[in-house]
Amino acid sequence: MSVSIIVPIYNEVENIPRLYERLLPIMDQLNTEVEVVLVNDGSRDGSREALEQLAKEDPRMVVVEFRRNYGQTAAMQAGLEYARGDYLVTLDGDLQNDPSDIPMMLAKLDEGYDLVHGWRKNRKDQLLSRKVPSWMANWLISKVTRFPIHDLGCTLKAMRREVADELELYGEMHRFIPILAHWRGARCVEVVTTHHPRLFGKTKYGLSRTIRVVLDLITVKYMLDYYSSPMKLFGRIAFGFMAAGTAAIAGTVLAKLMAGVDMTGNPLLLLGVMLCIVAVQMLSVGLLGEATTRLYYSRDSRRPFTVRRVLNGFERTVRHNADMDEEDSDRFPAVIERRRAA
């Protein structure tokens, strides 16, 4: 099976040659067709020139260059789309992930798993600014999504081509890849990986990303539980507001009948009317969500399910890069032949 190693790069000029030196023995060890997709996310420190030099010296180095900095999620999505391998590996460009873990993770895929994600059990980062927020975020995410995981922030992952093709990453969603894949029915496993301290460059993350992670967690929770049927969420909220509004209006009427309290000046009446209006709005949002969901699944024959395989029948596989250029036949001849035969 061919392998693509995807590495987002942002201002890592000192690390690029060292990353290449560490990847070389791993690429030889894999003994298969290998490419490295280096996504330059708008670097401004000389990384572009370093990547261009690598691409000239080694045709296995594929460089995807952004016009400006779009963030790690966009770089990861671009790498997944431009990669041509059957197995895809995502790796950080700061040398904190160890490429020597890649063969072990690919072996896990051969055991039948669809996605293997790393766990930086002995993490070499600062305690207060990196470790503690990460521990808290991983605990919260695991509880909210009901997905057992220790380290969502580890970039080192290995996955099958078909799993990557189903991912749609935006915002800060790259850290939720295992959860999104699990939601689509992928068999995931977490393995302990080696972690090194950063030697060159500066970290691109800090405490400021906490709010973005929480907002994306809300989105992921919605996608996991209500994406295919939004009315289940907004309908429950609507009935809750309607029940509270009805109770407030009923309390106002009882106060008028039993104690002669003026209804027009009673704030409880205004509260009840407002809650009923909000309930109608929630129902409207739910209906709009249902209509949008139907349009989404009807476009391009999308379905709210995935098929792992078809026995004694025809299997239809949709890939972003199914129409590979002829010039790629030298890099991945086996893949080309299989797809032509299919």
Could you say which of 3.90.550.10, 1.10.10.10, 3.50.50.60, 3.40.50.880 is the CATH number of the domain covering 3-226?
3.90.550.10
Cβ atoms 223, 287 nearer than 8 A: no
The H or E element that residue 61 is part of is strand 61-65
pLDDT for residue 337 is more than 70? no
Per-residue confidence (pLDDT) for residue 222, from 0 to 100: 84
Return the domain boundaries, the chain.
Answer: 3-226, 231-301
**Residue 267 pLDDT class (50, 70, 90 cuts):** confident
Average pLDDT over residues 252-269: 82
pLDDT for residue 329 is more than 90? no
Torsion, CA 73, CA 76, CA 77, CA 81, rounded to 10: 170
Model confidence pLDDT, tens digit, residues 142-165:
888 888 888 888 899 999 999 998
Average pLDDT over residues 284-306: 73
pLDDT for residue 221 is more than 60? yes
Average pLDDT over residues 267-286: 91
Q: Which amino acid is at 183?
A: W
pLDDT for residue 318 is more than 50? no
> How do strand 87-90 and strand 157-160 relate by DSSP bridges?
antiparallel
Model confidence pLDDT, tens digit, residues 156-210:
999 999 999 888 887 778 888 999 899 888 999 999 998 887 776 666 555 566 6
Question: What per-residue string of b and e applies to 44-59 under the rule 16 or more CB within 10 Å gives b?
Answer: eeebbebbeebeeeee
Average pLDDT over residues 289-314: 63
pLDDT for residue 101 is more than 60? yes
Cβ atoms 75, 66 nearer than 8 A: yes
